[in-house]
Amino acid sequence: MFYKEYLKTRWYLLLMLLTTSGFAGYGLLRLHRVAAVNGIGHAWEVMLMHDVVFIDLLEYVPVICGLVLALMQFVPEMYHKCLKLTLHLPVSHLKAVNQMLLWGVAATVACAVVNYAILWGYMSQVLANELWSRILWTALPWYLAGLAAYLLGAWIILEPAWRRRIVNIVVAVLVLKVYFVSEQPMAYFGFLPWLALYTIALLSFSWISISRFKEGKE
């Protein structure tokens, strides 16, 4: 199953990694420029006094990447109802769907880990622990939103009926708004475990679409 998912998404995953890393790198370039022009002390000051995180351009990038990944992975399954082929394989339907989702989740998490490694690699050299960890904690809800966008995208695309799909899109927008309620750095810090659980719960949504597909809803 992973081989099939790899064939569908390999080029996009490379693009996703380059895009998110590019945005992360651009954020670091902004920090570097401020430090080079005004001194690193000024960079520390604006972070503390004006809540600047330097990587704010990255905010919606994981969401867009998650949605596009869902499109790349599940549109080919719904094209001419190819999903029937997948569901006819001699494995349980739950396992087949979970393996497909696991591929997407693993790819999204791997991309986030690479981004974090890039951010940490530079920031830990020039910023105090408290400052770089503040930036990384601030970015975590954005990456969770990317994961949520992927799972909600899968739920929407796998839904067999167009009318229901529109309802799903509205619900998905409302669900995603939760990840962007506040732009204040560290605003989600105490809420992150709940936000993570909330994101994991979205894994089950695709099963609703698959069950409806199996019932022949159109």
Partner 1 sequence: MNSVISCQHLTHYYGKRKIYEDLNFEVPEGRILGLLGKNGTGKTTTINILSGYLKPRSGTCQIFGQDIQTMDPALRRRIGLLIEGHVQYQFMNIEQIERFYASFYPGQWRKEAYYELMAKLKVAPRQMISRMSCGQRSQVALGLILAQNPDLLVLDDFSIGLDPGYRRLFVDYLREFVKAERKTVFLTSHIIQDMERLVDDCIIMDYGRILTQQPLDTLLDTLHRFTARVPEGYDVAFSDADLFHPSVIRGTLELHSFLSSDEVSARLTANGVPFSDLHCESLNLEDAFIGLTGKY
Please report whether residue 216 would count as binding partner 1 according to CB under 8 A.
yes
Min CB(89)–partner 1 separation in Å: 5
154 and 101 Cβ atoms separated by less than 8 Å: yes
62 and 149 Cβ atoms separated by less than 8 Å: yes
Min CB(62)–partner 1 separation in Å: 24
**Residue from the set 92, 128, 130, 167 that interacts with partner 1 by CB under 8 A:** 92
SS3 content of the chain, % helix, strand, coil (to 5): 85, 0, 15
- Fill in the DSSP letter of residue 53: -
- Per-residue contact track with partner 1, 45 to 84, x per CB under 8 A? -------------------------------x--xxxx-x
Q: Please, which residues have CB within 8 angstroms of residue 196's CB and are 6 or more apart in sequence?
A: 144
**Residue from the set 85, 109, 128, 166 that interacts with partner 1 by CB under 8 A:** 85
In angstroms, the CA 156 to CA 141 distance is 22
Min CB(161)–partner 1 separation in Å: 13
Min CB(147)–partner 1 separation in Å: 24
